Amino acid sequence: MSAHPDRSFHAARRARFLAALGTEAALIVAPAHHHRNADTEYRYRQSSDLVYLTGWDDPEAVALFRPGAEQPFVMFVQPRDPEREVWTGRREGVEGALARYGADAAYPISELPSRLGTLLFGYATLHYRPGEDAALDRSLFAAIRSMAKPAARNGGDIPWRFHDPGRLVGELRVRKEPEELDLLREAARISCEAHRQAMMAGRPGVHEYEVESVVDGWFRRHGGNGPGYTTIVGGGDNANILHYVTNRDPLREGDLCLVDAGCEYRYYTADITRTWPVSGRFSGPQRELYEVVLEAQLQAIEAARVGRNYKDMHDVAVRRLTEGMVHLKLLTGGVEENIHQESFKRYYMHGTGHWLGLDVHDAGVYWHGFTSRKLEAGMVLTVEPGIYVPADDERAPAAFRGTGIRIEDDIHVTEAGPENLTAACPKTVAEVEAACAR
């Protein structure tokens, strides 16, 4: 499963990355494998930065970027090994890196410690994140030390200054290219239908894990890698646990069910939340709360416009949610004071969204210092306000207790305004009730 069949995309990204590096080198690392327990492993999922720049799927790889060098793009990879490949699968190897992935030079990963010093000679700054792989840290710093004497004798720089590579790659990743948007659209398309299937399958007595299996099964059956993050299915009060992934309880008559799930398709993930009535119809109080969250979400989506501050959509959502909380007597006092004192956080304690792409919480900064960054065309973000009223909250009107609602869509910021990539997923009360018809 390659990130994209056409690797010219990766070549273009590397060219941009090398240009952004200027005179500085970078080392982008993929971990060895994902150990689960005893002798078993999770299915390998390439690190997002590495796959973004190379399209390389295999574990245990290092991509070295050396702007200005004769061989600017060097890969260290697991070599072909027929005996190992019988157990763990085919490898592209050194040959593949050269022939199919555009490496200017490629070596077995075992040669990294002995080659790194020479390859990094001349670069004073290295983009590398220490602390993630102790063995690699040791190899790298030993290689740099080995160059210290020759450098002192004859001149030439060796790395002495380190930057987090995520910063520069993140700046590239935060603006999506057309081919990335295609993949996000496909992830969104599969995910929207999976949510509709979940609404159809849920009913009193069905377990949260059964709904999860409908959603995750749909992702796989339609060519997805699976969920881009662990699927959340929370019935009733479980919806008030933001990262509830136990998914163990039966759904109960009269409760709402919150499903937060997104398909990962060729490394790109959607991120959708829908909240629907287990019995097929919202009760009066559920509907009142739902309409507040929905309006807050629609207003926040409208704020996802070129030139607006990233933070605006949160402020818009907070205002509408707080108005609703005051109106529904979840909060006492006025709207302004509840916003100012942040008392809305009792029922809305998370942010209103995040970048979306290869990672569900995608790369890219949100702030420049303390200034919220401006939205640009090509950015993709989620908009996901919610209201969460725990069952044991005695300050809340009884009718709302045990109700958690979040509505989340994936928005592409364009010159023409916000494009909702997940618009096909039922969302209004009428659409949701129609999808939930029992």
What's the rounded Cα separation, in Å, for the pair 251 and 395? 25
Least distance (Å) between residue 135 CB and Mn ion = 34
Options 39, 70, 392, 394, the catalytic residue: 39
- Please tell me whether residue 271 binds Mn ion under the rule CB under 5 A: yes
| CB-based closest residue to ligand GLY | 260
Return the one option of Mn ion, ligand GLY, none that residue 229 interacts with (CB less than 5 to 8 A, by type).
ligand GLY
Return the one option of ligand GLY, Mn ion, none that residue 264 interacts with (CB less than 5 to 8 A, by type).
none
Task: Give yes or no: 327 in active site.
Answer: no
- Please tell me whether residue 352 binds Mn ion under the rule CB under 5 A: no
Region of residue 236 (left: phi > 0; alpha: psi -120 to 50; beta: else):
left
Comparing CB distances to ligand GLY, the nearer of 7 and 311 is 311
Comparing CB distances to ligand GLY, the nearer of 107 and 355 is 355
Comparing CB distances to ligand GLY, the nearer of 255 and 362 is 362
Least distance (Å) between residue 376 CB and Mn ion = 20
Count of other CB atoms within 10 angstroms of residue 365: 14
Options 388, 409, 410, 412, the catalytic residue: 388
Q: Segment 392-411, which members bind Mn ion (CB under 5 A)?
A: 408
Residue 15, SS3? helix
H or E element at residue 127: strand 125-127
Task: Give yes or no: 244 in active site.
Answer: no
Q: How many CA atoms are closer than 13 Å to the CA of 89, on its beta-carbon side?
A: 9
Options 208, 255, 312, 384, the catalytic residue: 384
Task: Give yes or no: 362 in active site.
Answer: no
- Short-list 78, 62, 75, 77, CA closest to 29: 62
Contact 53, 27 (CB under 8 A): no
Options 216, 237, 408, 409, the catalytic residue: 408
Task: Give yes or no: 350 in active site.
Answer: yes
- Please tell me whether residue 49 binds Mn ion under the rule CB under 5 A: no
Task: Give yes or no: 58 in active site.
Answer: no
Task: Give yes or no: 49 in active site.
Answer: no
- Short-list 383, 197, 172, 357, CA closest to 264: 357
Comparing CB distances to ligand GLY, the nearer of 176 and 354 is 354
H or E element at residue 193: helix 178-201
Contact 200, 278 (CB under 8 A): no
Helical residues (DSSP H) of 206-283, grouped into ranges: 208-221
Task: Give yes or no: 44 in active site.
Answer: no
What's the rounded Cα separation, in Å, for the pair 354 and 372? 13
Task: Give yes or no: 271 in active site.
Answer: yes
- Short-list 227, 224, 226, CA closest to 186: 224
Tell me which residues touch ligand GLY (CB under 6 A): 229, 260, 271, 354, 360, 384, 408
Q: Which residues are catalytic?
A: 39, 243, 260, 271, 350, 354, 361, 384, 388, 406, 408
Residues in contact with Mn ion by CB under 5 A are 260, 271, 273, 382, 408
